[in-house]
A and B are shown apart, each in its own frame.
Chain A
Amino acid sequence: MAEAFMGFSMPKPQIHSPSYQTAKFDAYPHPNSLKQCSSSRFTNGWFQSEGSRRKRGHLCKANAFPDWPLMAVMVEHMEGQRDMITHKSIWHLSDETIKTIYTIYIMFTCWGCCFFGSTKDPYYDGEQYRKDGGDGTGHWVYEKQEDIEESARAELWREELIEEIEQKVGGLRELEEAGRKEELVK
C-alpha cells in the first residue's frame, strides 16, 4: 500500500497538452513536480515513454467547485488491486470569509434564540404584553382607553341633544294644546 500526495496544483502546460481529452481517471496523476519525489514503484512516470503515456492516460484536474482552491488529491494504492482513488478536499478560506461565516452563524443563532424563545414565552402571550393596545393580530391599536372615553362623551352629547329636542317638542305640544283649548273655549 502506498500513499502519496500527488496532486498539488498542476502546471498549466499539462492541462493544455494534446492528450487532455483522452481519459480522465484512468491512471495516476503524473505532474512533473511529483516525479522527483515519487518512490521507485512509480515507474511509469511522466517522462518514461511517449507510448505508455498514451496507454495509461493521465490525470487532469477536475474541479467540482471551479472557484474554490482544491488543494490535494490523495491516492491510495493497494497491491494487486485495482486502483482506488480517494478524493480529499480541503478548503482554505480567507480570514474575511471565516469571519463572515461566523457572523452569519452567530446572527442566526441569536435570531433563533429570540424567535423560538419568544414562541414559548408566557409573557409574550400574556395579558401583560397583549393588553389593550395590541389586538394580537400584529396591528397595534393605540389609545383604546381614550377611544372609550371619547365615545362615552359622544354618547353624552347625543343624550343631551335628544333631551333638548324632547323639551322643545314638549313645549310645542303644550303650545298646541293651549291653542286647542282656546279653540274649544271659543
Chain B
Amino acid sequence: MATTSLLHKSISPCLTNPHSISSTHFAHLSIFLCPTEKPPSCRRLLTTNAKKKNPWLDPFDYGDDPEMEYGSLFSEGKQEEDPRPPDNPNNPYGFLKFPFGFNVEIASLGLKVRGDVRRCCCFVSGGVYENLLFFPAIQLIKDRYPGVQVDVVASPRGKQTYELNKNVRWANAYDLDDDFPEPAEYTDMIGVLKGRYYDMVLSTKLAGLGHASFLFMTTARDRVSYIYPNVNAAGAGLLLSETFTPDGLNLSEGGYNMYRQMLDWLGRPARNVPRQPIPPLKVSISRKLKEVVEAKYKSAGAEKGKYIVIHGIQSDSQASMQSRGDPDSLLPIQIWAEIAKAIRDVKPIFVIPHEKEREDVEEIVGEDASIVFITTPGQMAALINDSIGVIATNTAAIQLANARDKPSVALFSSEEKGKLFVPNAEEKKCVVVSSKTGKLIDIDVEAVKKATQIFEAPLVLA
C-alpha cells in the first residue's frame, strides 16, 4: 500500500510505536500531526549526539525544536556587556534615560531565550591549588558571557587565592568540604546566595543529594555541578540542571586539566557563537601586594630579580599549597639544602609555610640563609614575580611561575604526575624532574642540580 507506507514514513518520528495503532487511527493522526510531507524531524538525531538528558527533570523536554524560528532579538551571539541603559544626569531622581527603542519589558528576555548569565557563582572545592587551577574557568566565563559578574565561594584557604584574580567580584569563605556544616553557617550561606539571584551556579565539589540540594536552594537557573561517580550521586541529578561525572573520586588527580569537563561545557558552542577557547592560567598581582612582598624579601637579604624561590619544604602546616591529587609533594629540608648548594650566582630564598620551620632551615642550611615566611598565594605570586625562577615540588608555586612566565624546575614524584600537572612543560619554560621510584624523597639530586642551570643562562645573556 502506497498510502500507508507514506504515512508510516511521515509519522514515525512522532510516534515511538506506530505498529500498535490501527490503520484507521493512522489516517486521522496523520492529518493532525503531520499535515505536510516534510522530512522527518531530526529531534532524535540531535539528542543522540548530545549527552543523555535526565528524563526525570522534564519528561517533555525533547531538546531544541529544530522547526522553531528565532527572531533576531536575544536569540544568537553573545550577550551584551552592559544591558543597563545609562543614568540620566539631569534627572534629580536618577531615572534611567532609555535609549530609543529600549524596552524595559523585554530587556531580560535574553536570560530565557539565549541563556544569558549576568551573575554567576562558582563553588570551588579544595585548597589554594584547586582554586588556582580554576582561574582559566573564570576567565572563560568572563569571555563567554561578557559583562558577567563572577562570585566565588571557597574554603577560607582557597579564598585567599582570589587576591590574584581580577575577574571575581565577591569571594566568600565557606567550607564546602565539611560534611556537617554548622547549621547557622549553612542557612546563612543559603540566604546570602539566594539573595544575590544568581543565573548560574557552578560547583566543583562532587555533589550528592546534600550538596545538590544546597545548590538547588540558591534558586539559580542553571545549577551545574560535578557529581559522585558512584551510588552517592543518587538523587543529585534531580536537583541539578547539568552534571559532570569525573573519572575518580578525587577531581584533583586530573592535574592541570582537572576541570576539563566543566570547561568543555562552559565553552560549548551556541547559536552563532563558536566554541570558546580555554584561556591559559593567568594571575594578576596588585601593587600593594608587590610592595609588601618586596619589603619581606629585602629584609631577608635578597634583591629584586636576583634570587630563586624554593618552595615545598616538608611541614605539617596547612599553608603548604599542595594539590589534593598529589599528596607526596613535599621534600625535607636536607634535600633542599643539597639542591641549594648547586646554586651559586643567585640567592636561594626558602619559603617557609610556618614560623616554626625557620629554626630547622637555619640549622641545616646555615644562619645566613634567606628565609621568607609566606602563607598566602598572593604573596607567593608576588615573590615569584620578582624572582628569576622557581624550584619547587608540586605546589602552587609551580603553577604561579607558569602563570607569570618564570622559568621553573618542578620536582615530581613520578613522570605521569609531572605530565598531568605541567602539560607542555617546554612551552612554559618548566623543567620537570621526576623521581624514578615513584617517591619524591628518592629524587635524583644531581638531575635537579643540572636542571637548575636554566636559571644561569639568562644571567649570562644579561
Contact = CB atoms under 8 A, between A and B. Distances in A.
A154 B168 CA distance: 8
B284 interface: yes
A160 B171 contact: no
A160 B169 contact: no
A153 B172 contact: no
Contacts of A153: 162-163, 165-166, 168-169
A152 interface: yes
B172 A156 contact: no
B286 interface: yes
B284 A150 contact: no
Interface string A140-157: 000000100110111111
Given A146-B172, A153-B168, A160 B284 contact: yes
A150 B159 CA distance: 12
Nearest to A155: B286
A146 B171 contact: yes
A177 interface: no
Contact of A146 (B166, B170, B284, B288): B170
Contacts of A160: 166, 284
B219 interface: no
B287 A159 contact: yes
A58 B441 CA distance: 118
A157 B165 CA distance: 8
Interface string B137-167: 0000000000000000000000000110111
Contacts of B166: 153-154, 156-157, 160
Nearest to A149: B171
Contacts of B172: 146
Contacts of B165: 153
Contact of A150 (B167, B169, B287, B288): B169
A150 B166 CA distance: 9
A153 to B, nearest CB: 6
Interface in A115-171: 146, 149-150, 152-157, 159-160
A168 B367 CA distance: 47
A160 to B, nearest CB: 5
Interface in B255-295: 284, 286-288
Interface in A68-108: none
B315 to A, nearest CB: 27
Contact of B163 (A146, A152, A154, A157): A152
Given A150-B171, A156-B166, A156-B286, 12 more contacts: A146-B170, A146-B172, A150-B169, A152-B163, A152-B288, A153-B163, A153-B166, A153-B169, A155-B286, A156-B284, A159-B286, A160-B284
14 contacts: A146-B171, A146-B172, A150-B170, A150-B171, A152-B163, A153-B163, A153-B165, A153-B169, A154-B166, A155-B286, A157-B166, A157-B284, A159-B287, A160-B284
